[in-house]
Amino acid sequence: MLAMTALQALSAVTTVVADTADLDLVARYRAQDATTNPSLILRAARDPRFAALVQRARQQPAADVQERMDRLLVAFGVEILQRVPGRVSTEVDARLSFDTAATVQRAQRLIALYAAHGVPRQRVLIKIASTWEGIAAARQLQQEGIGCNLTLLFSFAQARACAAAQVQLISPFVGRITDWHRQHADQWDEAAMRGAADPGVRALRRIWRYYKQQGIATEIMGASFRNTEQIAALAGCDLLTIAPPLLDALAASTLPVPRQLDPAHPGAVEDTLPPQIGEAEFRAALHADRMASDKLAEGVRLFAADTDALLDLLR
8 A C-beta contact, residue 84 and residue 18: yes
Nearest to 289 by CA among 278, 281, 299: 281
Which of 68, 71, 106, 127 does the annotation list as catalytic? 127
| Helix pair 290-314, 65-81: axis angle to 10 deg | 100
Per DSSP, 277 falls in state -
The backbone torsions φ and ψ at residue 229, rounded to the nearest 5 degrees and listed phi first, read -65, -40
8 A C-beta contact, residue 254 and residue 125: no
Phi/psi class of residue 267: alpha, beta or left (left: φ > 0; alpha: ψ in -120 to 50)?
left
Q: Are strands 33-35 and 88-91 parallel, antiparallel or unpaired?
A: parallel
127 is catalytic: yes
In this structure, how many other beta carbons lie within 10 angstroms of the beta carbon of residue 50? 21
The full DSSP string for 131-165 is SHHHHHHHHHHHHTT--EEEEEE-SHHHHHHHHHT
d(CA 6, CA 44): 27
Per DSSP, 108 falls in state H
Supply the residues annotated as catalytic. 127
